[in-house]
Amino acid sequence: MFLSIYLSFCVAIASLAGVGISTPTHDSHINYTTVTGYFLQDEASTNTSTFSFIDTNFGLINRTYATDATYDPNGKKTQWQRFENQVFRLNRESGRKVQYKLIFMGRHGEGYHNAAESYYGTPAWNCYWSLVDGNGTVRWDDAQVTPEGVKQALAVNAFWASELKIQKVPPPRSYYTSPLTRCLTTANLTFSGLDLPSRHPFVPTFKEFLREGISGHTCDRRGTKSYIQQAFPSYRIEPGFTETDQLWQAYRREVEIDQDIRSKAVLDDVFSTDDETYISITSHSGEIASLLRVLGHRPFRLATGAVIPVLVKAETVDGPAPTTATVPYEAICTCTSPPAVGATTSTCTYATATPSIP
């Protein structure tokens, strides 16, 4: 099923008129690389567990660029203004088959599924609690953000407001989000009310392939298209978005190679159809990790609510893309009864019986 949806998606991409760089065809493909030397998150010396994008100007390295001499001879511009000019020059001099984009990838604020895993412990969460919709008090299927998650998103909103005003950071011109509720909500809390260009308001598009790694966890099962349209009426819907979730399967999960294939597909879609340079993506820890792999970025795990900017070079290369085959979903290990709260291990099997709340 995944393969047929993926192939249909690629056919739709190939039929689109090229905007920006050349649209990939069966005779060409897009190759992605992360352009290092601009952000601290790119550096091997940066500690991913203690790094704060808020305390470091999004991680933008304080450095000079070759373009500074003519653009800012008196040293009056901010680091972000000089970076924006540098990216402009990179694109102007790159040629038709190469494009540079800065992608701000933001992880959703804390969801009720995150809080439940913290409470029950990862072993109990993975083999039992993640497979049910809730515990009778709290629901985490297609999880909502918690009050802490709201607080995290609003803190990022305040940070954006400060960066736009003081550092003159270029705001995103296009916005994309996972169709899962926690991302739809986080994106709204993060960007609503900001002083954005009138020609580029916050009107995000939700895209199926930006969702979290598909698993038997109910928090990763999305709502219907009708629900999303009713809850977020200003959001745009990508073409071909189905009414119901066609990808989620109980007790089964996609493997990493499949996730990377769809991450590559959604990046191809964005880079082939969107000529904006500054892009926002609101997604999940697992999906952002997959996007980073496709982009050739070093692993960089984000805390809930965190943001990572990545300068991407996309080059349309002659010849077909390297062959990558999808792999069938695999079964996940389940427990027939919940392990003790805080258990560090669990005994699970590949049974298909539905866990039930005692």
Q: What is the DSSP string of 50-65?
A: T--STTTGGGB-----
Match 């100007």 to its residue by tokens: 57
Angle between helices 147-162 and 181-191 (to 10 degrees): 40
Joined together, the tokens standing for residue 355 give 């866990």
Q: What is the rounded CA–CA span in Å between residue 82 and residue 72?
A: 8
Q: What is the rounded CA–CA span in Å between residue 58 and residue 150?
A: 20
Would you please indicate which residues are annotated as catalytic (active-site) residues? 108, 212
* Cβ–Cβ under 8 Å, residues 277 and 102: yes
* Cβ–Cβ under 8 Å, residues 21 and 314: yes
Q: What is the rounded CA–CA span in Å between residue 342 and residue 254?
A: 27
Match 């056919």 to its residue by tokens: 11
Q: CB 74: neighbour CB atoms within 10 A?
A: 5
Q: What is the rounded CA–CA span in Å between residue 313 and residue 30?
A: 10
Q: What is the rounded CA–CA span in Å between residue 159 and residue 304?
A: 15
Ordered strands of the 307-318 beta sheet: 28-34, 307-318, 98-107, 278-283, 174-177, 205-206, 236-237
How does DSSP classify residue 234?
Answer: T
* First CA to last CA distance, the chain: 34
